[in-house]
Structure 1
Amino acid sequence: MRLARTLRFDQSDENVFERAAQPDEWAVSGAFEFSNWSEDDLSGKRRQAFANGWLGLESFGRATFVATAKIEEQEYRALVERLAAHFVEAWGAPDLETARPVAEKELAFMAGLCDEHEPNTLLIVERSLVTSGVSESFRAIAPQEATLDLVAVHVTSDD
């Protein structure tokens, strides 16, 4: 099974999101945060989170990029519990038993998206408001095959 981990190519996420996810957090789309939003909610850093932000499952901050990675079942189950607890604490779900199926559905959706791609595939989300709520589209950028000598400079003491 695969899920997505947040990536940082530079510090821009610190500048564009109210709360930036840390590198290497497991992540989901997190579109549920925007389910009641209207055009009036789309300004500044909130607009950027809505338009292109993945939700990190440790900090509950946002990241622009994620990459697919293998996840073990035990770690996946722990994420279900963490997200269910977040639904109770931050979103007012009545209890863990009620929140757990919703968390499972959110993670299953993300796992399904990631399982379609090879490990280390870069994923990008784009959202828009539509009459029925939030529309999401996803782009995948496959990892480039490169040998170490193409990306590393080898130096000897004679250089």
Structure 2
Amino acid sequence: MKFMRVARLDDTDEHVYENAARVGEPAVPGSFVFTFSDRDPTLFEGKEKQAFRHGFLGTRSFGWATVVVVDDIEEGEYKSVIESLAHHFVSEYGAPSMEAALPVARQEAEYAAGLCEHEVNTLLAVERAADEDGIHEAFKTVQPRADWEGEGQPVRVWDFFRDE
């Protein structure tokens, strides 16, 4: 089965999120964090706003990541993701029991797996917005451009230049 794993292109996540997810850990979209909140996402600022707008949630650290990669996952690890999410629902969101939390956790994991109908190693990004109708998500694949040929060197997506 395919599932999302946290990926990093650089160390930006360490700076833009209060808690950055760890590279390689399984991830889910994590919109439940904002759905379960009593706060209006349109009023978020700073790191919280960044997590809302562009974050995937790691299922071990419960930190945020800007991109994930489609990867294969073993059945045992997939079950571990569901259990980890269920524990999180009980400890952080007041689910009354693991038995009550497991179906919701399973639904979140199934949703994440359903977004992975791409080739392994495909990068995914998310854009989230909120309005009076609720939270809306759009998922995008990040494709390398044909002109990103590295010619024996690492491919650089951007370069840094000094201001004159």
- TM category (shorter chain) comes to 0.7 to 0.9
The answer to whether the 8 Å contact 2:69/2:121 transfers is: yes
Instruction: Map 1:68-79; keep pairs closer than 5 Å.
Output: 68-79=70-81
Structure 1 unaligned regions, length at least 5: 154-159
TM-score (norm 2): 0.84
Name the SS for the 2:115 alignment partner.
Answer: helix
Partner SS, residue 20 of structure 1:
coil
Native 8 Å contact 1:121 1:143 kept in 2: no
Q: Is the 8 A contact 1:7 1:23 kept in 2?
A: yes
Quote the offset at 1:42 in angstroms: 1.2
Name the residue aligned to 1:26: 26
What is the total number of aligned residue pairs between the two structures?
Answer: 149
Match runs of 1:134-145 below 5 Å: 134-142=135-143
Structure 1 Cα separation of the partners of residues 90 and 98 of structure 2: 7
Q: Deviations over 1:19-47 (max 9, x none)?
A: 00011110000000111441564101000
Question: Counterparts of 1:18 and 1:71 in 2: how far apart (Å)?
Answer: 27
CA RMSD of aligned residues (A): 1.9
Q: Partner residue of 1:157?
A: none
CA contact (8 A) 2:124 2:141 kept: yes
Hey, which of these two has a bigger chunk of helix by percent? Answer: 1
TM-score by length of structure 1 reads 0.87
Deviations 1:66-124 (CA, angstroms, capped at 9, x unpaired): 0000011111011111110010011110000000000000000010111x100000000
Contact 1:125 1:138 in 2 (8 A): yes
Partner residue, 2:5: 5
For 1:74, what is the secondary structure of its paired residue?
Answer: helix
1:124 corresponds to which letter in structure 2? Answer: A
Q: Could you say which residue in structure 2 is the equivalent of 1:108?
A: 110
Q: What residue in structure 2 maps to residue 48 of structure 1?
A: 50
What's the % identity of the aligned pairs?
46
Distance 2:41 2:4 in 1: 29
- Counterpart of 2:40? 38
Q: Which runs of 4+ in 1 moved over 6 A?
A: none
